[in-house]
């Protein structure tokens, strides 16, 4: 079952404290104090170390210029906690795998608290939080509402977890911290190194690792102790094809007979021919377009495909490429501003 009392809390950051290795070497947290329009302050308990003794490190993605269609919806929220337990695709609920919030190769695997500069999770979190407090920014905390109503936790990826943590796995229930400054947005996304890169979409095992055993973890892709050639091999094998362009706003009225089609351009990054039979392109509403039987991409080749079955919104959206097994290969997002110009393809290169 996914985590309970899931939602997003719109607030203003006030201060924070954190536990060092000496204070708590097992399950330390950073406590972010925040306020909204209600009397008193509340607390976000942010994990800064995994409880998995086999690999206690975190994965951290920073989006210093976060652009995504959900920002427009978030900015219209009233301060306070907005429940999202029953939300899913097309909503403001977050999913690290399906929401195309960041490119996974940009992540870093970081320990909790070690000597040196810019080499642990505290070193990267503190400067961003300091700026958000100094600039009186608006924050959006995703996670689980405390039972007493005074805070939020599970501010991290909540799927693909192993062993005893698997009971909390679900889709569209991931936690994160998004920050709205005066002139831009930033995103902080945290996962655990032992969590799976691919998880199940299906109704019987949503959010559980794929395959059930021997699955790829974030550590497989991002661990600096893994030789770079091995990491690159994992990345190319798992993501041989990428979305490089999309025409989401062709000239003329949308969805009219005889009008110009919406298209997606795919590029093969590998040195082999890729068979695209039974691959699909999915939009933000989970509508899909299956690619033509026999479609192929030669090594380094790019091709453009029409996607009538997965309409691409001019108001911003996401585009996801799935292989024949239904696993995500690549995903991108775009905003309403990027889709504004008719007949101009959006580049994701």
Q: What is the pLDDT of residues 1-47, one digit of tens each?
A: 899 999 999 999 999 999 988 998 888 999 999 999 889 999 999 99
Task: Give 208-235 pLDDT, tens digit per residue.
Answer: 999 999 999 999 888 776 777 777 777 7
Residue 139's contacts (CB-CB under 8 Å, 6 or more residues apart) are 10, 11, 12, 13, 34, 132, 177, 178, 179, 180
Least confident of 69-78, 205-214, 248-257, 297-306: 248-257
Label residue 66 by pLDDT band (50, 70, 90): very high
Q: Is the pLDDT of residue 256 over 70?
A: no
Separation CA 197–CA 166 (nearest Å):
14
Tokens 């920050």 locate to 179
Least confident of 196-205, 266-275, 321-330: 196-205
Q: Are 176 and 155 in contact (CB under 8 A)?
A: yes
Backbone angles phi, psi at 247, to 5 degrees: -100, 100
Structural domains of the chain ordered from first start: 6-236 (no CATH), 240-347 (2.60.40.1260)
């Amino acid at each position: 079952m996914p985590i309970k009392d899931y939602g997003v809390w719109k607030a203003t950051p006030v201060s924070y404290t954190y536990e060092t290795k000496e204070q708590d070497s097992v399950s330390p947290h950073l406590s972010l104090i925040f306020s909204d329009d209600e009397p008193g302050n509340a607390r976000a308990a942010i994990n800064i170390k995994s409880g998995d003794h086999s690999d206690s490190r975190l994965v951290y993605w920073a989006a210093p210029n976060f652009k995504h269609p959900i920002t427009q919806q978030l900015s219209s929220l009233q301060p306070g906690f907005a429940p999202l337990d029953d939300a899913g695709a097309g909503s403001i609920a977050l999913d690290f795998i399906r929401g195309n919030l960041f490119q996974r190769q940009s992540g870093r695997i970081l320990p909790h608290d070690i000597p040196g500069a810019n080499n642990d999770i505290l070193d990267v979190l503190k400067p961003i939080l300091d700026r958000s407090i100094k600039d009186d920014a608006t924050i959006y905390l995703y996670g689980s509402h405390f039972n007493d109503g005074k805070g939020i936790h599970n501010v991290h990826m909540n799927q693909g977890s192993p062993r005893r943590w698997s009971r909390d796995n679900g889709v569209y229930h991931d936690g994160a911290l998004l920050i709205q400054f005066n002139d831009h947005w930033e995103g902080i996304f945290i996962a655990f190194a032992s969590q799976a890169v691919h998880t199940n979409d299906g109704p019987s095992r949503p959010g559980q690792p794929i395959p059930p055993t021997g699955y790829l973890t974030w550590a497989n892709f991002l661990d600096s102790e893994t030789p770079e050639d091995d990491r690159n091999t994992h990345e190319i094998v798992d993501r041989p094809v990428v979305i490089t362009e999309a025409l989401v706003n062709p000239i003329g009225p949308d969805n009219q007979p005889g009008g110009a089609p919406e298209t997606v351009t795919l590029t093969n990054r590998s040195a082999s021919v890729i068979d695209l039979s039974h691959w699909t392109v999915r939009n933000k509403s989970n509508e899909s377009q299956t690619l033509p039987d026999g479609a192929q991409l030669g090594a380094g080749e790019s091709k453009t495909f029409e996607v009538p079955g997965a309409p691409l919104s001019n108001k911003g959206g996401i585009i996801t490429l799935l292989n024949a097994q239904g696993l995500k290969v690549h995903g991108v997002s775009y905003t309403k501003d990027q889709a504004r110009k008719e007949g101009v393809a959006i580049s994701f290169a």
